[in-house]
């Protein structure tokens, strides 16, 4: 999760797509379109390994766009394939 957050901070779309499970991966993220967020921090609230191939991570990421602050509170699901954890999907909740 921390590596994916760092990739968002750096705008590293190839890394984000490479760590996204093929069954839910978008064709692109278009990170260069629109105003770029200024990421302010990541707080991992909890992580839980459900079994050998599945895990969840709950986090809050803070960022600003055009001087306005936002918080993204998400519970992400990950699946392990060939020894690598891949982002599967996430549920964003109000925070």
Q: What percentage of the chain exceeds 90 in pLDDT? A: 88
For 42-47, what is the mean pLDDT?
97
User: For residue 4, what pLDDT is reported?
Assistant: 96
pLDDT at 33: 87
For tokens 């306005």, the residue is 68
| Count of structural domains, the chain | 1
Q: Which helix (H) or strand (E) holds 3?
A: helix 2-10
Q: Where are the beta strands (DSSP E) in 26-67?
A: 38-51, 54-65
User: What is the pLDDT at residue 58?
Assistant: 97
Range of the domain at 11: 2-93
pLDDT at 69 over 90: yes
Query: For residue 25, what is the domain's CATH number?
Result: 3.10.450.50
């Amino acid at each position: 999760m921390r590596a994916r957050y760092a990739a968002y901070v750096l705008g590293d779309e190839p890394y984000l797509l490479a760590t996204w499970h093929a069954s839910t991966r978008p064709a692109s993220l278009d990170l260069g379109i629109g105003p770029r967020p200024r990421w302010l921090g990541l707080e991992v609230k909890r992580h839980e390994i459900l079994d050998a191939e599945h895990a969840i991570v709950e986090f809050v990421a803070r960022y600003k766009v055009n001087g306005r602050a936002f918080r993204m509170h998400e519970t992400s699901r990950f699946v392990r394939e060939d020894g690598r954890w891949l982002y599967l999907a996430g549920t964003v909740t109000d925070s």
